[in-house]
Structure 1
Amino acid sequence: MDQSSERDRIIDAAYRALAATGGTSLSVNEVLRSAGLSTRAFYRLFDSKDELLLALFRQDSDRVAARLRRAAAAEPPAAALLSFVQAMLRITADPRRRQRVLVMSSEEIARAKGYLTERQRYHALVQGELVHILERGRADGTFPLAQPTSDAGWIRAAIQHAFDEQIAGTAPATPNETAELLTGFALRALGAQAPAIS
């Protein structure tokens, strides 16, 4: 078995183990037993449990970022913004994805050395996609009031707040309704009109 396959097996087993404990703890021995691999295989691929946890977080955050990048590519820019917000909030409506979010934000992962840096990297990826949408909209006149770098930060913060409410089950509306309301608010602030909602 090649190292890439071993790495995938360990990461998958780590996710299952974390999900089983509600994200409160992770035993490397349990992970290896579940993956059918040795301690030697683990230390050939990871320096520590923290490195494994960060690899798990990075894998998931990169998947989300790729999904958001595809949503951000929609045309025109106003539709891209709506698509982006919908893609983010719909994660909370899918039970399997929602479970992954809860595991990725668990105590065990948050305690890993280097977690804050990894989380900041993910937020920078998300914000970068928003900046790109806003730059496109400013360039073609869709967002006449846009200041892409600063506005992207505010919009990302609003999306994160809505996302957290959806995850916590305290949101006053469904993910789709929230996405439409939030996008409408952002578009008004940017001097644009909301795209037609289908």
Structure 2
Amino acid sequence: MVDSESSVAHDTPAWADRAAARSRSVQRSRIRSIEQAQTIVAAARRLLETEGSGFTTQQLSKEAGIALQTFYRHFASKDQLLLAVFEDFLIEASARLAEAARDIPDPVSRLRFYISSTLRSLDGTHRAAPRFITAEHWRLYQLFPTEMAGANQSFADLIEQELRTATQQQLLHSADPAADAWLATKLVMSVYHHYAFAPTPADTGEIGERLWSFCLAAFGGHLPER
């Protein structure tokens, strides 16, 4: 049987740990504090779909079913909350990609999947998350550079791991997988940010494949001959 407190600690994102540390109730119940913080972040994510990032803390407390002072026990400001939401989106997206790629057999194919899949969340009518990430990215980066760098790193880590493996297997050629993964991540982010607000072509898959072709060439690989 898995110990419930150990399980919560293992799966807790960094923002939830910070929120728990700010709360005076942490000595009484760390698990309860983390659950409350996650309830608040989930409420903020729902409000983003209907109100955008302009929602008020009063709207948030009503949506989360908590008193306003409970919110401030966990988050010093609304910007601290938006940082948590941002981290939640990016870490969750990276975890989804890693899980979806689990059965892909080789590192080059996994890299292609990671890079070409990034634009799929721009399909359809629900664009609140991509637009929030784009609109808030640099503003939050100026306020919380360390935390934002850590949140963005989750995707770069996926790229670096597969790029390093592919280089070791002589499938690709990267002299510095960490640096190349960072540059590829910045390129992917730029394309993502552009299409979060710009009119998106009917087939985002085609753009994803073009993005992959560019990165593959930079990694020293070649597209298969047709």
Same fold (TM over 0.5): yes
Give 4+ residue runs of structure 1 displaced > 4 Å after superposition: 170-173
The percentage of aligned residue pairs carrying the same residue is 25
Please identify, of 177-186 and 4-13, the stretch whose mean Cα deviation from structure 2 is larger.
Answer: 4-13
- Contact kept? 1:109, 1:115, Cα under 8 Å: no
Match of 2:88 in 1: 59
Shift of 1:84: 0.4
Give the AA of the match of 1:124: Q
Which of residues 194, 198, 209 is equivalent to 1:165? Answer: 194
Give the paired residue count: 195
**Which deviations, in whole Å up to 9, do the C-alpha atoms of 1:16-46 show, x marking residues without a partner?**
33443332x2321221122221123223332
Structure 2 residue 65 is the aligned partner of structure 1 residue 39: no
Which of residues 198, 213, 222 is equivalent to 1:184? Answer: 213
Please identify, of 83-92 and 159-168, the stretch whose mean Cα deviation from structure 2 is larger.
Answer: 159-168
Mapped to 1, the partners of 2:44 and 2:206 lie a distance apart of 35
Structure 2 residue 115 is the aligned partner of structure 1 residue 88: no
Match of 1:10 in 2: 40
User: Any gaps of 5 or more consecutive residues in structure 2?
Assistant: 1-31
- Contact kept? 2:52, 2:132, Cα under 8 Å: yes
Which of residues 102, 109, 120 is equivalent to 1:79? Answer: 109
Shift of 1:71: 5.1
Mapped to 2, the partners of 1:78 and 1:196 lie a distance apart of 16
Shift of 1:3: 3.6
Please identify, of 142-151 and 105-114, the stretch whose mean Cα deviation from structure 2 is larger.
Answer: 105-114
Mapped to 1, the partners of 2:99 and 2:74 lie a distance apart of 31
- Contact kept? 2:184, 2:215, Cα under 8 Å: yes
Mapped to 2, the partners of 1:175 and 1:78 lie a distance apart of 21
Structure 2 residue 98 is the aligned partner of structure 1 residue 69: yes
Q: Which has the higher contact order (CA 8 A, sep 6+)?
A: 1
Match of 2:181 in 1: 152
- Contact kept? 1:81, 1:133, Cα under 8 Å: yes
Shift of 1:173: 7.3
Distance 1:153 1:136, change over 3 A: same
Question: What is the TM-score with the length of structure 1 in the denominator?
Answer: 0.80
Match of 1:133 in 2: 162
- Contact kept? 2:45, 2:85, Cα under 8 Å: yes
Shift of 1:184: 2.0
Match of 1:21 in 2: 51
1:95 is paired with a residue of what secondary structure? coil
1:32 is paired with a residue of what secondary structure? helix
- Contact kept? 1:78, 1:142, Cα under 8 Å: yes
2:221 is paired with a residue of what secondary structure? coil
- Contact kept? 1:71, 1:83, Cα under 8 Å: no
Mapped to 2, the partners of 1:113 and 1:157 lie a distance apart of 17
- Contact kept? 1:166, 1:175, Cα under 8 Å: no
Give the AA of the match of 1:163: Y
User: Any gaps of 5 or more consecutive residues in structure 1?
Assistant: none
